[in-house]
């Protein structure tokens, strides 16, 4: 710098930068700052960035991280300029801001209006989280479209933002095939980009579970999370459908041991919907008391979604993988005539108390996973 060889240096600054520059000079000589509020510290941070005083930038970033975070301050931190020096110095601060927003808005349905008003950086922070408490990835997709349409009324701008910024946060492999079909015909996405995303999702769905797990592990080493499952309210299922010789579907639902443990003493977890004969069904796993109310046990139920007044006569069978063979073993067979909103099942699927079901030597958890299967057939 030319100034390094001068005894008298003249700096030209805006009047608004004066206080921050004096603080910066004070820091250079004393290694401390007298300001403590977020706006004042941000001003010093910007001055330190302008004059490339990295030590002061890191110090400001640390002080800001120690202050209570608010949605407003978190968004300010995410909006800082992206110079190389700034990026390195404030990375821990921007990471903390992203974590704060993701935690605050993880149940998006509670803060719908607030979330809809957030800028792009805030939405990206929320969507990058694995802990989003949302019904399914279909609901994430619907939300992203709704937000983008509200924030970017012009189609060209919306396509640009969805394609270059937001599509990577939607975990297409965990969307239902019905919703993926809609992606292909959605005008908000560039058609070629949408086709590529849907193809990748379908190939992932077709992979064997062990291959899916290894893809997710490979992915988690990168910044991308699209093969990593979120904590969905409705658990994903794998479905095999048959039209002939009879209308039938086989549904596979996997539950982690900790998910089952969280059901105690009276919780329930629902699967995503699946379809048979044009009608939506779902599975639900419960922790409940057995008929005599003497102990808790694991129950599995099959329900039909509220839709239309059709009644369906269905044969169904529940099975679970069991040690030592790790083959599926039939646990319950029945038939039932469904009407909308009705459910049927078995309160104590394994005919053992909850403590035995969850025990270390339980026959039903294989590498920490409970593998359930339901087979549904429309009765002729």
Q: For the beta carbon of residue 337, count every other beta carbon within 10 angstroms.
A: 11
The answer to whether residues 135 and 100 belong to one domain is no
**Average pLDDT score over residue span 280-297:** 88
pLDDT for 201:
93
- Of residues 77 and 29, more confidence is placed in 77
Encode 93-107: b = buried (16+ Cβ within 10 Å), e = exposed: bbebbbebbbebbbe
Residues 244 and 303 in one domain: yes
Residues 189 and 66 in one domain: no
Retrieve residue 128's tokens: 């990058």
Cα three-residue angle 215-217-218, rounded to 5 degrees = 65
pLDDT of residue 278: 82
| Residue where the block lists tokens 């969507």 | 127
For residues 84 and 143, state if they share a domain: no
pLDDT at 350: 95
Whether residue 373 lies inside any domain: the answer is: yes
CA distances from 58 to 35, 55, 66, 83, 89 (A): 15, 5, 13, 14, 5
What is the C-alpha to C-alpha distance for residues 338 and 359, in angstroms, rounded to an integer? 35
Tell me how long the chain is: 380
DSSP string, 206-223: HS-HHHHHHHHHHHHTSS
Give Cβ neighbours of residue 122 (< 8 Å, ≥ 6 apart).
Answer: 71, 74, 75, 78, 101
pLDDT in tens, 177-230: 889 999 999 999 999 999 999 999 999 988 877 788 788 888 766 667 888 888
Report the predicted TM-score, pTM, of the whole model to 2 decimal places.
0.74
Q: Is residue 183 part of a domain?
A: yes
- Residue pair 350/362 in contact (Cβ under 8 Å)? The answer is no
Return d(Cα 298, Cα 71) in angstroms, integer.
41
> 227 in a domain, yes or no?
no
Q: Tell me whether residue 267 is in a domain.
A: yes
Quick one: what percent of the chain has pLDDT higher than 90? 56
Regarding whether 373 and 282 lie in a shared domain, the answer is: yes
pLDDT at 124: 95
**pLDDT of the residue at 305:** 84
Residues 211 and 260 in one domain: no
Q: Which domain holds residue 251?
A: 234-378
CA nearest to 248, candidates 337, 317, 302, 305: 317
Same domain, 188 and 92: no
Alpha-carbon span 80 to 77, nearest angstrom: 6
Residue 4: pLDDT over 70: no
CATH of the domain at 365: 2.60.210.10
Share of the chain above pLDDT 70, in %: 92
Residue 323 and residue 288 in one domain: yes
Instruction: Indicate whether 248 and 365 sit together in one domain.
Output: yes
Q: What is the mean pLDDT of residues 13-40?
A: 80
Q: In this structure, is residue 366 part of a structural domain?
A: yes
Helix and strand numbers (H, E) in the chain are 14, 12
**Residue finishing a domain among 221, 249, 276:** 221
Asked which of 41-50, 150-159, 314-323, 367-376 is least confident by mean pLDDT, the reply is 41-50
305 falls within a domain: yes
d(CA 331, CA 158): 51
Q: Within this chain, do residues 44 and 153 fall inside the same structural domain, yes or no?
A: no
Residues 6 or more apart whose CB falls under 8 angstroms from that of 356 comprise 362
pLDDT tens for residues 79-93?
888 776 677 888 999
- How many domains would you assign to the chain? 3
């Amino acid at each position: 710098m030319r100034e390094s060889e001068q005894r008298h240096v003249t700096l030209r600054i805006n009047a608004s930068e004066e206080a921050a520059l004096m603080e910066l000079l004070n820091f250079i000589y004393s290694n401390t700052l007298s300001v403590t509020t977020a706006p004042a510290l941000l001003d010093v941070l910007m001055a330190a960035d302008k004059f490339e005083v990295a030590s002061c930038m890191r110090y400001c970033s640390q002080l800001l991280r120690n202050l209570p975070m608010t949605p407003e301050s978190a968004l300010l931190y995410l909006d800082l300029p992206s110079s190389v020096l700034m990026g390195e110095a404030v990375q821990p601060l921007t990471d903390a801001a992203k974590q704060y927003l993701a935690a605050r808005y993880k149940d998006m349905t509670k803060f719908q209006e607030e979330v809809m008003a957030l800028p792009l950086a805030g939405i990206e922070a929320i969507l990058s989280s694995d802990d989003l408490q949302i019904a399914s990835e279909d609901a994430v997709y619907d939300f992203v479209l709704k937000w983008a349409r509200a924030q970017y009324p012009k189609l060209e701008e919306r396509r640009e933002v969805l394609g270059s910024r937001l599509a990577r946060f939607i975990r297409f492999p965990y969307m239902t095939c019905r919703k993926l079909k809609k992606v292909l015909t959605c005008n908000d996405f560039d058609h070629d980009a949408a086709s590529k995303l849907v193809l990748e999702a379908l190939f992932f769905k077709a992979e064997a579970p062990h291959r899916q797990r290894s893809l997710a592990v490979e992915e988690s080493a990168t910044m991308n999370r699209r093969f990593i499952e979120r904590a969905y309210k409705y658990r994903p299922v794998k479905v095999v459908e048959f039209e002939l010789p009879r209308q039938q579907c086989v549904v596979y639902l996997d539950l982690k041991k900790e998910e089952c443990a969280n059901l105690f003493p009276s919780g329930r977890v629902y699967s995503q919907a699946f379809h048979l004969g044009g009608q939506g069904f779902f599975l639900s796993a419960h922790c409940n008391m057995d008929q005599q109310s003497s102990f808790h046990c694991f129950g599995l139920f099959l329900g039909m979604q509220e839709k239309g007044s059709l009644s369906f006569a269905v044969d169904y069978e529940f099975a679970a993988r069991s040690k030592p063979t790790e083959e599926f073993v039939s646990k319950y067979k029945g038939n039932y005539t469904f009407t909308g909103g009705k459910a049927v099942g078995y309160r104590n699927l394994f005919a053992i108390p909850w403590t035995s079901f969850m025990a270390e030597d339980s026959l039903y958890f294989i590498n920490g996973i409970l593998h359930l299967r339901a087979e549904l057939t429309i009765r002729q």
